[in-house]
Structures are given as structure tokens and as C-alpha cells.
């Protein structure tokens, strides 16, 4: 990443310490940095916000979960915003290879009643 090579302090604004430590231990450090940046952008786009004034890139953290699966941890203003709007879950997928990093995020929301949006709730349980 040209930007990081020109000013490596930019990583302090883009990645949490945990993310920086993870990427630093990888053979293709910049590919892992780029994938995390792409994932953060995908999460904010899934929220329909992009980066807002009080939000920071470090408010969205991509961590290695069980079995190596990437997981999203929200902090600060992003966590507060998501909680106010009823975020139920967020899933993220990222990939990188020779000069290309991509990510996709899917956000699942609760409706006003606390149900997962888009899931029909039966009025009654059918009996046999």
C-alpha cells in the first residue's frame, strides 16, 4: 500500500493495535492491511452510512475468530449507532491476493418489535 509506505503512522488511524499486531505478523502484511480496510468500508456501507463525522476507522475492528473466520467488533460511535438502530448481527468475508483486496459485509437488523427484520413470525403454532 503506497499510502502506508509514505506514512506508516496512518495505520494508527486505520487499524486498532490488535489489527496492527495481527498484520505485522503476516508474510504479506500489506495485503492483510488492505483486506481489513476493505472490510471496514464494507461494514460501514452495509450500515448505509459510510464514515461519518464522529466515527473512526478504529471503531470497526476485524479480528480473527474461531477457526480463523473473520469477525467484526464494533467500538465507540459505530457501536452506539448500531445499537440504537437495532443491529442483530454482522457477517464479513474478506479475501486478498496479488495486489487486490476485497470484502463483503452483511448486516442483520431487528425491527421495532425486536424481531429479526424480514423474518415472518407465525401468529400461532399449528397443532396436529
> Which residues have a catalytic role annotated?
45, 96
How many other C-beta atoms can be found within 10 angstroms of the C-beta atom of residue 19?
Answer: 25
Helix, strand and coil percent figures for the chain, each rounded to 5: 40, 25, 35
Host H or E run for residue 105: strand 100-109
> Alpha-carbon distance 23 to 8, whole Å?
13
User: Cβ distance 64 to 22 under 8 Å?
Assistant: yes
Task: For residues 82 and 107, give the distance between their C-alpha atoms in angstroms, rounded to a whole number.
Answer: 10
Taking the CB of residue 25, how many other CB atoms lie within 10 A of it?
9
Amino acid at each position: 500500500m503506497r499510502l502506508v509506505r509514505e506514512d506508516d503512522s496512518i495505520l494508527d488511524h486505520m487499524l486498532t493495535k490488535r489489527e496492527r499486531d495481527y498484520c505485522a505478523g503476516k508474510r504479506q502484511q500489506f495485503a492483510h492491511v488492505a483486506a481489513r480496510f476493505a472490510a471496514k468500508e464494507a461494514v460501514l456501507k452495509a450500515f448505509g452510512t459510510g464514515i461519518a463525522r464522529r466515527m473512526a476507522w478504529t471503531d470497526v475492528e476485524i479480528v480473527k475468530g474461531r477457526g480463523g473466520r473473520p469477525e467484526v467488533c464494533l467500538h465507540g460511535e459505530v457501536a452506539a449507532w448500531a445499537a440504537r438502530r437495532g443491529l442483530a448481527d454482522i457477517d464479513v468475508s474478506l479475501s486478498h491476493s496479488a495486489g487486490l483486496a476485497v470484502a463483503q459485509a452483511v448486516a442483520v437488523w431487528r425491527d421495532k418489535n425486536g424481531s429479526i427484520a424480514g423474518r415472518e413470525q407465525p401468529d400461532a403454532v399449528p397443532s396436529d
